[in-house]
Amino acid sequence: MTDIFALLYLWLKSAHLIFVIFWMAGLFMLPRFFVYHQESAIGSAESELWVERERRLIKIILNPSMIVVWVLGLYLAYEIGAFKEGWFHAKMLFVLLLSGYHGWMAGYAKKLAGGERKLAGKKLRLLNEVPGVAAAIIVILVIVKPF
């Protein structure tokens, strides 16, 4: 790596991690929003406030963060030759699962906005653990590189 690229790489890696933090924060917040949303009466002013909060979280924080994480992550992986590493394949599996979880949560937000409330608060609280477990596994894969 040239000195300029080495410096750029560190900035891009830093940006990647910053946006991972933003994305994860949003993934932790959204199910909590859903719990509070479901506790409000359908069609009430409070319910409408939760619809708007959820929409903003998804559109302003979650979606842009996920896109930046993917773009920078794939670029960084390419630059270090990670595509042939076993740990990276496992990491990608968990990032894909988190992305699917993100999409499912965004879909559930639309259902809540339409008045559908299919999940109990307890189940939503349990779903809140998904990103934490995935993040722990991903960090171990990236730092320890067990295979």
Question: What is the per-residue pLDDT across 91-132, written as a single tens digit (0 to 9) for each?
Answer: 999 999 999 999 999 999 999 999 999 998 889 999 999 999
Residues in the chain, pLDDT under 70: 1-2
| Separation of alpha carbons 32 and 128, rounded Å | 7
| Separation of alpha carbons 85 and 60, rounded Å | 33
Residues annotated within a binding site: 16, 91
The set of residues, in sequence order, having a beta carbon less than 8 Å from that of 67 and lying 6+ positions away, is none
For 56, other C-beta atoms within 10 Å of its C-beta total 11
Q: How far is CA 63 from the centre of its chain?
A: 8
Q: Is the pTM of this model over 0.85?
A: yes
80 with 130: CB under 8 angstroms? Answer: no
Residue 8's pLDDT is: 92
Residues annotated within a binding site for heme: 16, 91
